[in-house]
Copies of this chain bind each other. A is one copy, B any other.
């Protein structure tokens, strides 16, 4: 599971349409279709229902979506943390704060 796949999944989920999602990602449709399929294969479950109008999230996809967004959020936070620090921002929070805290 790559970051790209997660990003692609979120885009398709939001657009409900591989073509539009591909345009938004500045990508062509076939590689996007392939990556979505490959993600489904890896997860062992289909995430979308294919219809002649586009792609609709299945329950499994609905369940996966918030996790996918969380990964992207954390990645974003990770990228920013050094920039923030370079600008003199105070100590960051909310990242590894839960190391062993049930």
The chain A residues found within 8 Å of chain B, CB to CB, are 1-3, 6, 43-45, 59-60, 63-71, 73-75, 77-79, 81-83, 85-86, 89, 92, 95-97, 99
The answer for the CA separation of A59 and B81 in the assembled complex, in Å, is 12
Q: Are A82 and B1 in contact (CB under 8 A)?
A: no
Number of copies: 2
- B residues near A74, Cβ cutoff 8 Å: 67, 70-71, 73-74
- Mostly, the A contact residues are helix
Q: Are A96 and B70 in contact (CB under 8 A)?
A: yes
- The 4 A-B pairs with the shortest beta carbon distances in the complex, nearest first, are A66-B96, A67-B78, A66-B95, A67-B95
The answer for the CA separation of A97 and B59 in the assembled complex, in Å, is 17
